[in-house]
Amino acid sequence: MRYGGDLKAGLTGGPSSDTLDPHQGLTYLDTARASALYEPLVALSPDARRLEYVLAEEITPYRGSLSRWVIRLRPGITFHSGRPLTAADVIWTFRRILEHKYSAVNVLGPVQPAGIRALDARTVLVPMSRP
């Protein structure tokens, strides 16, 4: 199996500050690039009426508490290099967004970065400051 390769895209407009970093994008073009390159844990359905799991297999309250949530990743998800997506990758991403206060910080709301931890290779426990 071959991994990696070239990606060619044609987009018009945009300033010299355009970025491929999905957490720092500010323009519609940045968003378009991020959507083409990266997958989220969940996304809006095509009709924008519900959330659909993408990289996540499920997201559930931890032992009935709305202040702690469990994210279970789908099996078999890999990066372009073939390396599997793990709980450690989700933790790194959440902490990066929260610590640097990137624009995606608004999506994570009350997530408490210090308490995020892996329960196993595909499962993340995410504590919240409020339900």
Q: How many residues does the chain have?
A: 131
Top-level class of domain 28-127: alpha beta
Query: What is the rounded CA–CA span in Å between residue 4 and residue 2?
Result: 7
pLDDT exceeds cutoff 80 at 93: yes
**pLDDT band per the 50, 70, 90 thresholds, residue 120:** very high
Q: Which two tokens stand for residue 6?
A: 């070239």
**pLDDT band per the 50, 70, 90 thresholds, residue 48:** very high
Q: What is the pTM of this model?
A: 0.82
Q: Is 14 exposed, middle or buried (0-12, 13-18, 19+ CB in 10 A)?
A: middle
Percent of the residues in the chain that have a pLDDT greater than 70, as a whole number: 84
